[in-house]
Structure 1
Amino acid sequence: MNNPVSLYPEHHPDAERPAYWGAVFSLALGVFGLVTAEFLPASLLTPMSADLGVSLAAAGQSVTMTAVIGGIAGPAVVVGTGRLDRRIVLLWLTGLLVASSLIAGFAQSLPVLLLARVLLGIGLGGFWAMSLSLAMRLAPERLMPRAMAIIMSGVSLATVCAAPLGAWIGATLGWRWAFLLAAAIGGVAFLAQAVTVPALPSTGATSLATIARVIRRPAIRLGLATILLAVTAHFSGFTYIRPYLEQVPHYDVEAIAGALLVFGIAGFLGNLVGGFLAERSARLAMSLAALVISASVLALGLVGAWPGVTMAALATWGLAFGAFPVSVQAYISRNAGDEAEGAGAAVLVAFQIAISSGAVLGGMIINGQGPAGVYLFAALAALLAASLTLIARTARSRTA
């Protein structure tokens, strides 16, 4: 059950390397629990703030705390635990999900709640920084996109389920029970990982110099630049999707909930489509996903006043953005070689920078140009992301 697995394909050719699908699904369950716990406050802020006796803005810092700590913790976990068995590190990270959710569920003050969210940020950031290398070690190289798609499906399911499930539990049982449910999910994931994940001995410590070295590779820089542009485009628009839906197609609350459900379901399907395409050409899949994001948000910016167009554009946007992380992770992994954890840390930081930049830029644009203007900016940024592959290929052909 816990036979050691090496990272290096030259030691274990694909023909000899088994795929540990049980372990891959246990990682999907773990990330479902992590992302569910991350998203829960969004649907529970009102009862949380009332119960803890703080303002909505103060309670909202529980979301900010997790995001900030996650961005710092990813590289720190990779560097600080480089010589430890990755299975042990994974179990500790999942254990942090359980501990943080239990602490949040029993928190009687805002500082205690924020402590819980710090622990969750460490678990979340550490997991994302390691997810690329874990997928590479648990599946043969040719099946790595499929493994990554399965892991990422946990994110899509959490995106679809976390907010409505949290709101329902908060309304029926109280907000604390939502976090206790997240703890239970984490406990099941911990047991599943303990049973299915093989021993994964360290393949050498990763340092900040290792991360810097892997970033200097042209192919890795291309992938990171694509992430920065495409994810900035996505979050500049998605952060402000509710005011857009209220002001442009004039959706009511029920229609907005339905539209976001369509987006989430499409994102789940996009994970599967992205894995299928990335097995054939990760570079093409990455560029195609960015191109479809661009076309979708452009439709929202130009003709989103038609409710049917808006719903269709949200579906294609969700499908494309669901495919993008799987595709770009597959592309990065194929160019990272034996420095997958360093590359994974760089990918995490790029995502966090892009998420923050998208929210800030979207806010600036919406204040000056209104909701529709945000989507024209997002279309341009995503189009530039899709164009990077062509630009890089043209530059190489000219220097050849």
Structure 2
Amino acid sequence: MPDPSPRLLLVAVCAAEILGMAAFATFPALVPVFQPEWALSNTEVGWISGVYYAGYVVAVPVLVSLTDRMDARRIYLFSMAVSGISAIGFAFLADGLWTGSVWRFLQGVGLAGTYMPGLKALTDRLPASAQSRGVAFYTSSFGIGGSLSFLFAGEIAAALDWRWAFLLSAIGPALALLLAAKALKPRPAAGAKPATGLLDFRPVFRNRKVMAYTLAYCVHNAELFMLRSWVVAYLVFSMSLQPPGATGTGVRATIVATIAGLLGMPGSVLGNEVARKLGRPPVLLAAMSLSAVVAVVIGFGAALPYAVVIALVLLYGFLVVADSATITAGVVEAADPALRGMTMAVHAMIGFVGSMLGPILFGVVLDLAGGGQSQVAWGMSFSVIAALLMLGPLFIYTMGRDRPSASDTPG
């Protein structure tokens, strides 16, 4: 049976990605609940947030590289099941730092087998002319799913408790599995199997353009997942500094986080469209620079009127992913077609090292600079991540520019 039309396929795979992200933000959305209940320091909060991405980093080299050797659909469906099971495990068995870390690690493994393998399954089935926009919409769906996860976790925990939030979030991956199984028709892996070993990444490392975008993706992810891990805690802290009845303080922090995340979709798609016309390097430089500036303002601006804080967080939600689709599309375009799965494995592995370290680094700086009740400490934490982000344009301009005398792909 043939695949559905490209448009219908894109809609179905993006919808599955959104559903599969239901448990993504259950912990960071509920940090104000977990921190006192489990007596966690800021560093320990950062650890549980970061260990999710450690699971991703450990699993992604194997799971994504396998998509060059078998249909990515098989890996995707199996991993979506892992995502649902690990959410249920957290709901019933997590009771502190280490048990919570184990189940969040397994959730990260599930993400490793769904995010990039899902993108590979999609791009293998799309015509070349539709791939750039397909990447933009798919990566934006990741942000939508993560944003709705904040909303879901906050509302369910407020109505019931955090265990119910995790338990009910498992419904999303179950529905995603059924939808993807229907939309993605089985097919052999695209192209000939690569001559390299499964984990022989040397051809990818030799591709300077791929590595430039991959290193930029690493620092992008450090910033993005720092924000997603800490935004609710930051907003709660900002609310504690406001006078009684201040405008906006009646809005639950998880709702603000949800809206900020949803603004990422137009930010990502618009950034990619502008990059198609003006070129990726200048757009990435502008997007990352603006995002870094706003991060510093937010960090030191917790005591600003809460309506202003909300507006800044929403603007940040738009800017923080304005570079995302542009970076990933750059990698897909620069990859050797025969090594696309392996290239995406390296891209994801190195990129999500940033996802793992960003939340942990933020928590460590927050503790060292004075703790979660210090405005200066929040400012320093945001500033460190902003400084890290500015390495991204440096990688693109020193490694990722086309050079007429040499090929960007390994020969």
TM-score in terms of structure 1 length: 0.78
Query: 1:237·1:374 contact (CA, 8 Å) conserved in 2?
Result: no
Using the TM superposition, give the Cα deviation of residue 196 of structure 1 relative to its aligned residue in structure 2, in angstroms.
Answer: 1.3
Q: Work out which of the residue numbers 256, 262, 270 in structure 2 matches 1:273.
A: 270
- Provide closer, same or farther for how the CA distance between residues 239 and 109 of structure 1 changes in structure 2, counting only shifts above 3 A: closer
Most deviating of 326-335 and 250-259: 250-259
What is the match of residue 84 of structure 2?
98
Query: 2:215·2:351 contact (CA, 8 Å) conserved in 1?
Result: no
Partner amino acid for 1:329?
T
What is the match of residue 12 of structure 1?
none
Using the TM superposition, give the Cα deviation of residue 329 of structure 1 relative to its aligned residue in structure 2, in angstroms.
Answer: 0.5
Alignment of 1:123-272 (within 5 A): 123-202=110-189, 203=191, 204=193, 207-235=197-225, 239-241=229-231, 246=237, 250-251=241-242, 254=250, 257=253, 259-272=256-269
Q: Distance in 2 between matches of 1:115 and 1:262?
A: 29
Q: Distance in 2 between matches of 1:159 and 1:130?
A: 18
Post-superposition Cα deviations, 1:346-393, rounded to whole Å, max 9, x if no partner, equal 122222221233334434544336222334434433334234434447
Query: 2:92·2:163 contact (CA, 8 Å) conserved in 1?
Result: yes
Partner amino acid for 1:99?
I
Q: Distance in 1 between matches of 2:303 and 2:34?
A: 36
Query: 2:156·2:162 contact (CA, 8 Å) conserved in 1?
Result: yes
Post-superposition Cα deviations, 1:268-305, rounded to whole Å, max 9, x if no partner, equal 32133234334444444433321221232244367775
Partner amino acid for 2:291?
I
Using the TM superposition, give the Cα deviation of residue 176 of structure 1 relative to its aligned residue in structure 2, in angstroms.
Answer: 4.4
Most deviating of 385-394 and 328-337: 385-394
- Provide closer, same or farther for how the CA distance between residues 166 and 300 of structure 1 changes in structure 2, counting only shifts above 3 A: closer
What is the match of residue 122 of structure 1?
109
Please give the root-mean-square deviation of Cα atoms over the aligned residues, in Å: 4.0
Q: Secondary structure at the match of 2:19?
A: helix
Q: Secondary structure at the match of 1:322?
A: coil
Using the TM superposition, give the Cα deviation of residue 74 of structure 1 relative to its aligned residue in structure 2, in angstroms.
Answer: 0.8
Post-superposition Cα deviations, 1:305-358, rounded to whole Å, max 9, x if no partner, equal 544654444333211222222111100000013122112111222222212333
Query: 1:264·1:318 contact (CA, 8 Å) conserved in 2?
Result: yes
Q: Secondary structure at the match of 2:293?
A: helix
Gaps of 5+ in 2: 370-375
What is the match of residue 34 of structure 1?
20
1:55 maps onto 2:41 in alignment: no
TM-score in terms of structure 2 length: 0.76
Q: Distance in 1 between matches of 2:318 and 2:218?
A: 19
Gaps of 5+ in 1: 4-17
- Provide closer, same or farther for how the CA distance between residues 237 and 107 of structure 1 changes in structure 2, counting only shifts above 3 A: closer
Q: Distance in 1 between matches of 2:241 and 2:380?
A: 16
Q: Distance in 1 between matches of 2:35 and 2:312?
A: 35
Q: Distance in 1 between matches of 2:50 and 2:197?
A: 27
Query: 2:72·2:118 contact (CA, 8 Å) conserved in 1?
Result: no
- Provide closer, same or farther for how the CA distance between residues 219 and 2 of structure 1 changes in structure 2, counting only shifts above 3 A: same
Query: 2:288·2:393 contact (CA, 8 Å) conserved in 1?
Result: yes
What is the match of residue 290 of structure 1?
288
- Provide closer, same or farther for how the CA distance between residues 125 and 209 of structure 1 changes in structure 2, counting only shifts above 3 A: closer
Query: 1:232·1:378 contact (CA, 8 Å) conserved in 2?
Result: yes
Q: Distance in 2 between matches of 1:218 and 1:356?
A: 24
What is the match of residue 372 of structure 2?
none
Using the TM superposition, give the Cα deviation of residue 217 of structure 1 relative to its aligned residue in structure 2, in angstroms.
Answer: 0.7
What is the match of residue 354 of structure 1?
354
Q: Distance in 2 between matches of 1:49 and 1:382?
A: 28
Q: Distance in 1 between matches of 2:299 and 2:100?
A: 39
What is the match of residue 8 of structure 1?
none
- Provide closer, same or farther for how the CA distance between residues 398 and 240 of structure 1 changes in structure 2, counting only shifts above 3 A: farther
Post-superposition Cα deviations, 1:131-155, rounded to whole Å, max 9, x if no partner, equal 4423421323332232122222332
Query: 1:146·1:279 contact (CA, 8 Å) conserved in 2?
Result: no
Q: Distance in 2 between matches of 1:105 and 1:301?
A: 32
What is the match of residue 13 of structure 1?
none
Most deviating of 291-300 and 233-242: 233-242
Which structure ranks higher in relative contact order (CA pairs < 8 Å, sequence separation ≥ 6)? 2
Partner amino acid for 2:336?
G
- Provide closer, same or farther for how the CA distance between residues 394 and 256 of structure 1 changes in structure 2, counting only shifts above 3 A: same
Q: Work out which of the residue numbers 63, 74, 80 in structure 2 matches 1:88.
A: 74
Query: 2:210·2:335 contact (CA, 8 Å) conserved in 1?
Result: yes
Using the TM superposition, give the Cα deviation of residue 57 of structure 1 relative to its aligned residue in structure 2, in angstroms.
Answer: 4.5
Q: Distance in 1 between matches of 2:333 and 2:48?
A: 36
Query: 1:30·1:94 contact (CA, 8 Å) conserved in 2?
Result: no
Q: Distance in 1 between matches of 2:79 and 2:403?
A: 41
Alignment of 1:325-340 (within 5 A): 325-338=324-337, 339-340=339-340
Using the TM superposition, give the Cα deviation of residue 101 of structure 1 relative to its aligned residue in structure 2, in angstroms.
Answer: 3.6
Most deviating of 278-287 and 317-326: 278-287
